[in-house]
Amino acid sequence: MKLKVSELYLGFQNKVFEISSKNLADRGIVYKKEIIIAKLSLIKEKNCFCLNGNLETTVEYDCVRCLKKNPNKINIPINILIFEKTMEHQTRNDREIIYFNKSNDYVNLKSIFSDLIALAEPIQPLCDKKCTGLCPTCGIEKTNSCNCNKRTVFTAWDKLKDLQI
């Protein structure tokens, strides 16, 4: 995903970009659809360019409990300030900042978009809040006809009885 430097000065409103996930940096994200849709507006501000909008894609996360892959439609707000490299280093906590070199023809958004998508992943992705996960005894999803739970408890008690004998 690149923006022409000349395009920065012209700006755009609600422009739809179709980005191929193959053109993003590899961050270990599994894209369910190859095309990522970004709807972006670019406004020139006093000493920078402001890129706003959102990015929509469907990615696959492994559920931490049952390990099943589940697709997640994600919508990420985009709020990026683009500065020319000659500007002194900017610090803003509310926005992402990238720099471009006026001598280059393009501003590369590949890394920042990949990072934002990777950051959208929950720390512990679940297929469902109610996911009970896999049974440690039989490996079957607990929600599906597994009765090990009771038996496991009994087995523990049985072993204790053995010890007492």
Residue from the set 120, 135, 145, 162 that interacts with Zn ion by CB under 5 A: 135
Least distance in angstroms from the C-beta of 74 to Zn ion: 18
Nearer to Zn ion, 63 or 98 (CB): 63
Q: Mark 25-64 with x for binding to Zn ion (rule: CB under 5 A) and - for no binding.
A: --------------------------------------x-
Residue 77 token pair: 């707000």
Residue 101 has phi, psi (to 5 degrees) of -100, 125
DSSP state of 134: B
Residue 131 binding Zn ion, by CB under 5 A: yes
Q: Mark 138-157 with x for binding to Zn ion (rule: CB under 5 A) and - for no binding.
A: x-------x-x---------
Count Cβ atoms within 10 A of the Cβ of residue 122 and give its class: 0-12 exposed, 13-18 middle, 19 or more buried. Answer: exposed
Spell out the residues 6+ positions from residue 111 whose beta carbon is closer than 8 angstroms to its own.
25
